Structures are given as structure tokens and as C-alpha cells.
Amino acid sequence: MLATEPDFSTGLFSHIDFTHGAVAAVSGGSDSIALLLLLKRHLDRTASSAKLLAVTIDHGLRQGSVAEAQAVAKLCAERGIAHRTLTWSGRKPSTGLPAAAREARYHLLAEAARAEGIGLIVTGHTADDQAETVLMRHARDDGRAFAELTGRGLAGMAPGTLYDWREWIVRPLLGTRRSVLRDFLRREGVGWADDPTNIDEAFERPRVRAALAGESARHMENALRLAGQAAVARRQLGAGAADLIRRFASQPGTGLIRLDPALLTADDDRAATYALRILLATAGGVAFLPDQARGEALFGRLKAGFLCATLSRTVVDFRRTGVFLRREARGLPLTAPAVDDTIWDGRRHITLNDRSGALLIAPLGTAAAKRLTIDDGETPASLMRAALAAEPTLRQVLETPGLPQAHPGSPAFAARPVVSPLARFLPSFDLAPARAVAELIGASPLPASPLGSHSGD
């Protein structure tokens, strides 16, 4: 834990690269106000030319939210800090409100950062938030012993998270207690707002927060210590999975991943299962990994011999030439207008090269795939065609005789693969496997991390 001396900003921020500026998420609460003032002090001393933009997200859920945003704007004006208030507009869901608000908050923060040409967002999550997160996730972890550290979520929040494969969200206060930050604000003579939803026990986090407040300091310290151990274990698992992906996975054709059967006899079944789960979700275009139990069961069946199965929208076809993964034919998107800078089927990032007219995108389909000329080499042509059948193409191409040879794409748009389970939120714990899968499938390279550690290398 950090000491309580008046200025501890150097220890908080010295490992972060602020060359291209930062967006600070400032709600008006004590944590984010302290973050802003400490960050401003650090940048004034070490990088005075770096751009700093404070952004307040008004979720429109409480009457006092407008006044809180105005108070932040006033503080920023007094301190010479650029500030913007962004509002979450539209209808709010009747269930899952905290998750929806979180998604909206990061979306708006990322938009603000992108508009300013800034790739770094800094948030005020504290050690208290970390302990609450770990305890919440442990409560959902099937009641297993806390010390087993079997759940990836027990690592808690990562020091950095890549959002949408573009902006980095960094949490420099994860090792700092909220009480330390409030002491700092009192010494500075700066007040803060208390969000009443933080004590509304209708929501899970306030319930955990209240329970944690009734425990001894040792309880929180244990949670944080175990979270640290889980984070190390998670990075090690990811590094092992990345190594196996590089050694045993290949892409013989668009939309088709081949696993060398030697993966099944590698020394580390746990890392191999993790690699398989990531690749299944990537091939199927799903945002979440298949659960641990199903991943282990499939891995065990593969070790037992040849099979054809489906998991996470991915067909797993074990043949003599390898284990092949491809998107299943069911549930593919219907024909729809092409939209620039969107994700198609969870698997392909669409970039339009021709915006002169309305373009319709559809899956190539089995019938059209059979007409493609396939130079298959060692890979069965039937597998190559089955994978290509699930790839996006223009509806106009399907309606025109004479398909392009060997690929369903079109000069009118580009469809670049994405690492589906990590494309939205990529914790720094998982950089190694994300990088390995991106290299395998030809996804966009990861932007450099602004953190001096947790690089995933």
C-alpha cells in the first residue's frame, strides 16, 4: 500500500506513458477527484505539454447528477483543466442496469478520447474497488475455496485494459485505499460528491461494500493478496497458452484454424485447454470463452480420438491431418446493408472501400462456396469451402455469375478478423494469448501498452 504523505503522485504514475495525453474519468466522487488532482500535479511536473481532458459521464439516472457534473466542471476551470460532460441518452434497461451503465460509460469515454486523438483513459478504481470485485466474483465461483484461485476473474481488475482494440484504460489507484485519497483531498481542502447508489443495497456491489466494511482490515488485505496471486497465475497461464498457439496452431485458409494433434499431448493440459477455449470463441465469433468444464470435457474427448463436435458456434473436426476449427453454418447474419467500421458476426471488422451506393453483405453460403476454386494442398477442400461459406461477401457478388477465385471477398470492402473474446475488453493479464491469436488469424496488431509492466510479453 502507498504511504499517506501529501504528494504520492510520482509513485502512482511514473510507470505510465503520457506522451499522447490522457482522458481522466471524473464522476465527482472522492476517488476520481483525487485521481484528477494527483494526475494534474504529476503532468505539470513531468510532462507539461501532455494533453489532459477530464470527462464526466452523466448517466441521467439521478436528479443530482447534473449538479455533480457542474461541480466537476467548476473545479476543472479553477485548476486549468479541460473538461467535458457527456450524457448517456436513450432508454435505460429495466434489468442489468449497472452493466449497461458501465458499457455506456466506457463507450462515451472512448469516443471522447478518439475525438481528441488520445489513446489513454485513466480511471479512479481503488484497492477498495478491487477487493469488492474479487469478493463478488468469488461468490459466483461455484463456492470453491478462495485459495484455489481457479477462476480467471479472481485476479480482479487489471492495471490496464484495452477497449475496443484501440484505447487503453489504465487504473493507477488499484494499490491505494480510498481512505488515503480522502485524506489527501481533505488536506487540499477539496470536497467531493457521494453517489447514493453506492450505498443502495438493491445492487450487488453496495451489498459487498457494506459487508466488507464490517470486516477487519485483514480481510481486505487477504482479498488483495490472493487477487495478486491470481493475477500472476493468470499471466502465466496466458503465456503458456500463447506459446502453444504459436507452436501448434496454423491457418490453412480464411476462417479455418488447424491444430496440430501434438497439442493434445503437450506437457501442460491446463494451458492447452485455455488455448483451445480462446480459439473456439475466436473461430465462432463469441464474446465469452466456453466455460472451463466444457472446455476440459472437449479437450478430453479430443485426446481420446477423432470426433466432430460443436461448441461456441465452432465446428471442431478432428481428422488425420489435424484438428480443424471453423464457424458453424447455423445462425449466420442475414443479408443486411454494409456499415463502415462495424463488426460482422462477431468475427470480422468491416471497412468500406466503396461508399458510392448501398452495399448488402451476406454470408457466402454453401452453394456459392462449392463453385470456388480451392488450391487445398494438404487441407481437405471440403473444409476450406465449409469455412469460406461462413465468410462475408456482397449480395451483389452472389447474384452475379462467375465468383472470384478462391476468396469470397470484394474490393468494395475489407473484412479483417478480430479476436472475438478479447476484442471489446482485453485485460493486460491476457495480452500474450491475444497477441498470439491476432498473429495467427491476421487481426490488427495490438497498440502499444502505456504501462511499463504487465506487457504480456
With 0.75 as the threshold, say if the pTM is over it.
yes
Q: Considering only 142-146, 187-191, 233-237, which range has the smallest mean pLDDT? A: 142-146
Judgement on whether residues 92 and 224 belong to the same structural domain of the protein: yes
**Phi, psi of 166, rounded to the nearest 5 degrees:** -130, -60
Q: How distant is the alpha carbon of residue 437 from its chain centre?
A: 14
Taking the CA atoms of residue 69, residue 205, residue 425 and residue 409 in that order, the dihedral angle to the nearest 10 degrees is -100
Q: 217 vs 4, which has greater pLDDT?
A: 217
Judgement on whether residues 214 and 340 belong to the same structural domain of the protein: no
Is residue 152 situated within a structural domain? yes
The pLDDT tens digits for 56-98 are: 999 877 777 899 999 999 999 999 999 999 999 888 888 888 7
Is residue 425 situated within a structural domain? no
Sign of CA dihedral 71, 72, 77, 78: positive
Q: Considering only 24-33, 205-214, 441-450, which range has the smallest mean pLDDT? A: 205-214
Is residue 62 situated within a structural domain? yes
CA distances from 122 to 74, 104, 202 (A): 20, 16, 28
Which residue, of 210, 231, 252, is where some domain finishes? 231
List the CATH number of the domain containing 155.
3.40.50.620
Judgement on whether residues 21 and 169 belong to the same structural domain of the protein: yes
Which residue, of 189, 213, 231, is where some domain finishes? 231
Judgement on whether residues 23 and 140 belong to the same structural domain of the protein: yes
Q: How confident is the model at residue 9 (pLDDT cuts 50, 70, 90)?
A: confident
CA distance 394 to 335: 9
Judgement on whether residues 92 and 215 belong to the same structural domain of the protein: yes
Is residue 77 situated within a structural domain? yes
Amino acid 154: pLDDT: 80
The 3-class SS string of 319-355 reads: ECCEEEEEECCCCCCCCEECCCCEEECCCEEEEECCC
In terms of residue numbers, what domain contains 124?
9-231
Is residue 311 situated within a structural domain? no
Is 183 a residue whose pLDDT tops 70? yes
The pLDDT tens digits for 128-175 are: 889 888 877 766 554 444 433 445 668 889 999 999 999 999 999 999
Which residue, of 187, 207, 231, is where some domain finishes? 231
Q: Listing from the earlier edge strand, what are the strands of the sheet with 314-319? A: 249-253, 256-259, 322-327, 314-319, 308-311
CA distance 392 to 254: 11
Amino acid 33: pLDDT: 97
Is residue 391 situated within a structural domain? yes
CA distance 456 to 448: 11
The count of domains in the chain is 2
Is residue 316 situated within a structural domain? no
The 3-class SS string of 117-157 reads: CCCEEECCCCHHHHHHHHHHHHHCCCCCCHHHCCCHHHHCC
The whole-number average pLDDT for the span 272-293 is 97
Using a pLDDT cut of 90, give the percent of the chain over it. 66
Residue with cell 466474483: 137
Q: Which helix (H) or strand (E) holds 431?
A: helix 431-441
Is residue 255 situated within a structural domain? no
